[in-house]
Amino acid sequence: MFELNNISKSFGEKKVLKSISASFSFGITGIAGSNGCGKTTMFKILTGLLKPEGGKILYNSEEINTQSSFWRSKIGYLPQTIGLYSRMTVYDLLDYMLVLSDIKDKKLRKERIDYLTGELNLKAYLKTPCGYLSGGVKQRAGIAQAFIHDPEIVFLDEPTNNLDAEERERFHNFLDKFRLNKIILYVGHIIEEMGYISDRMLIFKNGEIVFHGKPSDLLNESRYSVRQILLSKNEALTFEPHMILRKIAINGKTKIIYRPGQEEDNIGEAAEAHFEDVYKIITRD
């Protein structure tokens, strides 16, 4: 288990993280927030790539140096953009990452590579140089390198970028296997999927954590109730835009899921809120 204790960070005048605190235990924590709200900065601080201006990071209640080799051996990291070495094959790349993680036994390295490439559907690309891989396969190879040394804590910054629906599903099944023995922090933008896969969710807004808890708590809160109304396309165009949470096309009409602003907005009927609706309500407020 590890904790953030009053972590803050600014870039020039802009305060990117405003004294945030959170604790993470085994399982998947989905992290969401609008662009530039501090998610990646938090990841960089947690991985030791950036130093915080204030606050502490505790691992099993001990303050740790995030730039120590002890911490580096504990973590795996998938950055937001990953390119991979174009000349190296997928197998060599993963083997190289294992050697850098100080795993000397070749047999053990091969076992790890075999296991992960099987899980992430990469077997067919083992001998392909990374420069020839498509975006989705590259992303999967990136995910594999984050898990390859069997780290206790994994930071995944938008891991489903470039993955098609089937591969996203496979990736979520893959994550499921580590729910009990790894601390996985997962930044993403497909809120619906994150809501279902995560054990806990953390929502950022302007450098602050505005929600930290179970995803089911989000849906159960009455203050996040939503309504729906079926309108013609033209009527839908005139609907108050800041109230709209989602639009669904049904038989030439548009179903609008919205959050009523005031009493008189309570037209239509009560609807079941989705994670995406609640997320939008939280980040807009």
Partner 1 sequence: MFCFISNCLKQMLNYTYLSLIFLYGLICWMIADVTIKSQGLISGKEILKSYDTIILFLVLINCIYFIITHFRETLNSRIRDAEILRLGRYKYFWGLAAAYFIYFAVFNAAPLYLTAFVQTIVNSSSAFYFSDYFNALLSTAFRAGLWPIALSLILIVWIKNDLLALIVWTAVYLTVTAISVISGLYKTGEGNAPLSAVPLIASSVISLLTFAGGFLISRRLTEYEYNEKISGGIFSLIAHKLGFVLSEFHYKMLGLKTQSLYLIFGLLGFVFVLSLTEGMGANNTVISKMYVAVFFPLLFSFNQYNLLAVDIDSGMIATNVLRKSGYARIVLNRWFTMLLPQTVFAVVFSFFIIGSTNGLNVSFLALVLVLNILFSSMNFSLSVFFMRPGFANFTVGFVGYLMLREDVQKVISSSELLRNVNLFGSIVSFTNSTPSPDHILIALCLSIMFILPAFNKLKRIDITAL
**226-231: strand order across its sheet:** 244-250, 253-258, 226-231, 269-271
Rounded to whole angstroms, the Cα distance separating 233 from 284 reads 25
Q: Minimum distance between the CB of residue 139 and partner 1, rounded to whole angstroms?
A: 12
Rounded to whole angstroms, the Cα distance separating 46 from 50 reads 8
79 binds partner 1 (CB under 8 A): yes
**Closest C-alpha to 248, from 222, 216, 277, 221:** 277
The interface region with partner 1, picked from 84-92, 227-235, 264-272, 275-283 by CB under 8 A, is: 84-92
The interface region with partner 1, picked from 89-97, 116-124, 234-242, 266-274 by CB under 8 A, is: 89-97
146 binds partner 1 (CB under 8 A): yes
Q: For strand 269-271 and strand 244-250, is the pairing parallel, antiparallel, or unpaired?
A: unpaired
The interface region with partner 1, picked from 83-91, 116-124, 186-194, 252-260 by CB under 8 A, is: 83-91
The size of the interface with partner 1 (CB under 8 A), counted in residues, is 39
95 binds partner 1 (CB under 8 A): yes
Judged by CB under 8 A, the residue of 23, 85, 166, 214 near partner 1 is 85
Q: For strand 200-205 and strand 183-187, is the pairing parallel, antiparallel, or unpaired?
A: unpaired
198 binds partner 1 (CB under 8 A): no
Rounded to whole angstroms, the Cα distance separating 125 from 133 reads 8
Binding residues (CB under 8 A) for partner 1: these are 44, 47-50, 62, 69-70, 72-73, 75, 77-79, 81-88, 92, 95-97, 99-108, 145-146, 149
